[in-house]
A and B are shown apart, each in its own frame.
Chain A
Amino acid sequence: MFSLSLKAENISKAYGNGRSSKKRRYVLEDISFEVQKGETLGIMGESGTGKTTLGKIVAGIEKATRGEIFFAGNSIEELSKIDYARFRKKVQIVFQNPEGSLNPKKTVEKSFQQVLELIGIPTEKRGEVLLDMLQTVGLSEDFLCRYPHQLSGGQNQKVALGRVLLLEPDFIILDEPTSALDISVQAQILHLLKEWQAQKEIGYILISHEREIISFMADRIAVLKEGRLAFTS
C-alpha cells in the first residue's frame, strides 16, 4: 500500500562561508528519518543543538549543505512547479515564538483572509470557513479585529495553528510550539494537536527540549545531540 511520508536523508548543515571544510562548523550531521502520515516523531534536544535549523530544513525554507528531503517519495529539489506547490501546501511549520509568527501590522482577520484567498476559497464562503476554523482552535469571533500584540501568547499560537490548518496539511513541523506558553495553555494546545491528528491523520515532527511533552505526544522518539540524531526505543 502506498503511504504518504516525509523523509530526510543524510541532512547536514554547516555555517561559516569558508571554502575549505576546516573552516566550516557543522551544526547538523548526516541526519536521516522518515515520518508517516498520522504519526508523531518527537525530536528532543537542548537549546543550541540545531533543532530549529533542522525544522526549517525539513519544511523546505532553509537549504541543507548536504542531503535531501523527500516528500511522497520525490526529492523536493527535483519537484515540478505543480508538485512543489503541493509540497508547499502539505508540509507546514509552527514556530516557538508565537508573537513573531503573525505579522504585527495585520489584524487576525486579515491574516486569515489572505490564507483563504491563497487557497482559492470563493469570497462568499470565506466567512463560514473562517468561523469554523476559529471554533476548531477555540477562539471567539471578537479576536478577528485584534492585532497580534493585543493577544496573549497562547491566542497568538492558536491563530498561527489555525492558519496552517486551513491548508489541510499532511505534515506539520512543530518547533517548541508550547515552550513560551503557560502550563494551562500548553495543556490546551497539546490536546488540540492530538485531536486534529486523530481526525485528519496529520503527521507531526515535534521538536522540543522537554522530555515530558515528547513522551506524551510522540510515537517514536529521537534525540538530537552534538549535531547527530539517535533513535531511542
Chain B
Amino acid sequence: MKKPALPRQNGSAQKKSLSSLLAVVLFLVFFILALCANIIAPHDPWERFDPYLPPSVEHWLGTNDLGHDILSELIYGSRVSLLVGLGAAVLATAIGLCVGLFAGYYKGVTDEILMGITDVFLMIPRIPLIILLAAFLKPSFWIIALVIGFLWWTSTARVVRSKSLQVSEMNFVLSSKCLGFSDKHIIFTDIFPNIIQIVIPKFMLTVAAAMITEASLSFLGLGDPSMKSWGMMINFAFTKGGLINALWWWFIPPGLCIMFFVYSVVLLGYSLEEKEQAVLGIS
C-alpha cells in the first residue's frame, strides 16, 4: 500500500540541499588543493624570498619572516592538515567500529568490558593529556595523528554499539546464526553493511574534531615545526610578530582555511546524517 502523504518540499528543504552542495564543493576544492599542491602552488614553500613582503602580483599573499611564499605555504599546509585529520579519523573510526560491533553483537560480559573501557576513555581529559604527551614526546606530526585517533573513538563506539544491538536482534541475523554462519561472517557481512550509514557521518565529524585539535596544538607551539600545517602557520605568525604588526595576509588566510574546511566537513556529516534519518523515517 502507499505511504501517507509526505510533507511538501518547502523552502528550508531547498536551503538544506543548497548547503550540502556548498559543503561538497568546498570539500572537493580543499581535497584537490592538497592532492595537487605541487602543481597548484606557485613556489616551493621552503624557497626564500625577501621577508615581510605585502601581497603583490608575484606573491599573492606576501611572504613571512623567513621570506617563504605564504600562498604556497597555505596550499602545502592543506596537505598536512588533511592528513592529520583523515589519518586520525580513520584510526578513531576503525577502533570505534570494532569496539561497537563486538560489544553490540556479543552482548553480556564482552559488552560490559568494552563499554567500561569506553567510559574510561570518555573521562580522560583529552586536550591536557595531548599537551602532556606532546611535551614529553618529540612533537611529530604522526604522533599527533595517532594520539588524536586513540582518544576520539568513544562516541563512534557508542553509536555503533547501540545500532548493532538493534540490528543483531533482527530476524535475518538470527537466521544467519541458525544457518550456521560464523560470528565473523555475521558481524562483517550482515551487521556491518547495515550500520555503515551511521558511521560515515560520524567519521566526517571526527575529521573535523581532529583538525581543530591539531590546529590548537600547533598554535600552542606543540606541533611539528618541520611540517607546515595551518595551525603551525598561525603559530609562526603569532610568535614572529605577524599579529602585532598587523600583517593580516599572514594569519588570516590559514585561519579562514581551517574554518571553511571544518565547516564543509561538518556540513557534509550533518547532511549525510539527515539523509540517513530521512531513509529511516525518523527526524
Interface residues of A (CB under 8 A from B): 56, 59-61, 85, 88-89, 91-93, 95, 97, 100-106, 114-115, 118, 160, 163-164, 167
| Among all A-B residue pairs, the 6 with the closest Cβ atoms | A105-B193, A100-B171, A88-B180, A95-B171, A101-B171, A103-B172
Bound-state Cα–Cα, A97 to B189, Å: 21
Q: Of the candidates A56, A95, A100, A115, which one forms a contact with B179 in the assembled complex, judged by CB atoms under 8 Å apart?
A: A115
Chain B residues with Cβ under 8 A from A60's Cβ?
178
Indicate if the CB atoms of A102 and B172 lie closer than 8 Å: yes
Beyond known contacts A56-B174, A88-B179, A102-B175: 10 more, CB 8 A cutoff = A61-B178, A89-B180, A91-B178, A104-B194, A105-B194, A106-B189, A114-B181, A118-B180, A118-B181, A167-B180
Residue in chain B with minimal CB distance to A103: B172
Given contacts A100-B170, A103-B194, contact A167 B179 (CB under 8 A): yes
Indicate if the CB atoms of B194 and A163 lie closer than 8 Å: no
Q: Tell me whether B65 is interfacial, beta carbon within 8 Å.
A: no
Indicate if the CB atoms of A95 and B175 lie closer than 8 Å: yes
Chain B residues with Cβ under 8 A from A105's Cβ?
193-194
Chain A residues with Cβ under 8 A from B171's Cβ?
95, 97, 100-101
Interface string of B152-193 (1 = CB under 8 A from A): 000000000000000000111011111111000100011001
Indicate if the CB atoms of A114 and B189 lie closer than 8 Å: yes
Most buried by B among A93, A97, A163: A93
Chain B residues with Cβ under 8 A from A92's Cβ?
178-179
Bound-state Cα–Cα, A102 to B179, Å: 12
Indicate if the CB atoms of B179 and A61 lie closer than 8 Å: no
Q: Of the candidates A88, A89, A91, A93, which one forms a contact with B175 in the assembled complex, judged by CB atoms under 8 Å apart?
A: A93
Q: Of the candidates B174, B181, B190, B194, which one forms a contact with A95 in the assembled complex, judged by CB atoms under 8 Å apart?
A: B174
A182 to chain B, nearest CB (A): 12
Chain B residues with Cβ under 8 A from A59's Cβ?
178
Bound-state Cα–Cα, A202 to B217, Å: 68
14 A-B pairs whose Cβ atoms sit less than 8 Å apart in the complex = A56-B174, A61-B174, A61-B177, A85-B180, A88-B179, A93-B175, A95-B175, A103-B172, A104-B194, A105-B194, A106-B189, A114-B185, A115-B179, A164-B179
Indicate if the CB atoms of A103 and B179 lie closer than 8 Å: no
Interface string of B45-57 (1 = CB under 8 A from A): 0000000000000
Bound-state Cα–Cα, A85 to B176, Å: 13
Chain A residues with Cβ under 8 A from B193's Cβ?
103, 105-106
Chain A residues with Cβ under 8 A from B174's Cβ?
56, 61, 93, 95
Bound-state Cα–Cα, A127 to B171, Å: 26
